Amino acid sequence: MPEQTPAEMHNQLPLFNTETWLYEDFEIGVKIKSIRRTISEGEAMIFNGIVLDQHPYVADEIFAREEGIFGKRLVAGSMVFSLGLGLMAHNNVNTFSYGYDKLRFIKPVFIGDTIYTIRTHLRKIPKYPEMGLVTVSYEVFKNKGELALYCEHLQTVKYRDPENFADQVLKK
């Protein structure tokens, strides 16, 4: 049997799949690409059921094939958004989502399409006494490089040294 770690030492172990970068560490211009994932019919229908999206374009095969303008069922845009951002989730314990801007659905995504995401670090500004604001773009591509979705994610991020930004904090 493996040796067990005493419970009081558990908080000293590093967290899996997390990042700890701070505002000062954020580098403008950095690009990173996610792994790919294929969207199955089953998970698309589960998602539709959870969010109560029963639009004929995402939930009715006969409608989509015979009456829809694409000839096949779409994946709900909110699912593409969720999966695309999830592929880049960094789980940084020092960042907090502030919101999303410029969300655009550029091309339809269909059941069976494979997506991946490219995140680009766009800008950063001091904002609050303890946190700055960083903005990244997410470009979700389908199949072999067709841009399907674009958005910008704004996140507040803790400063390593808040005193260095005291004179730059945005005034209300």
Q: Label residue 65 left, alpha or beta by phi (over 0 means left) and psi (-120 to 50 means alpha).
A: alpha
The whole-angstrom separation of Cα 48 and Cα 81 is 13
- Given a contact cutoff of 8 angstroms between Cβ atoms, the answer to whether 124 and 26 are in contact is yes
Q: Where are the domains of the chain?
A: 20-165
The structure's pTM equals 0.90
* Residue the block writes with tokens 């419970």: 7
Start-to-end C-alpha separation, the chain: 59
**Residue 170 CB contacts under 8 Å (≥ 6 apart), including other chains:** 125, 126, 127, 128
pLDDT digits (tens, 9 = 90+) for 49-107: 999 999 999 999 999 999 999 999 999 999 999 999 999 998 899 999 999 999 999 99
Give every CB contact of residue 59 below 8 A, 6+ residues apart in sequence: 45, 48, 53, 73
DSSP 4: P
Report the pLDDT value the prediction gives residue 172, as an integer from 0 to 100.
56
CATH architecture type of domain 20-165: Roll (3.10)
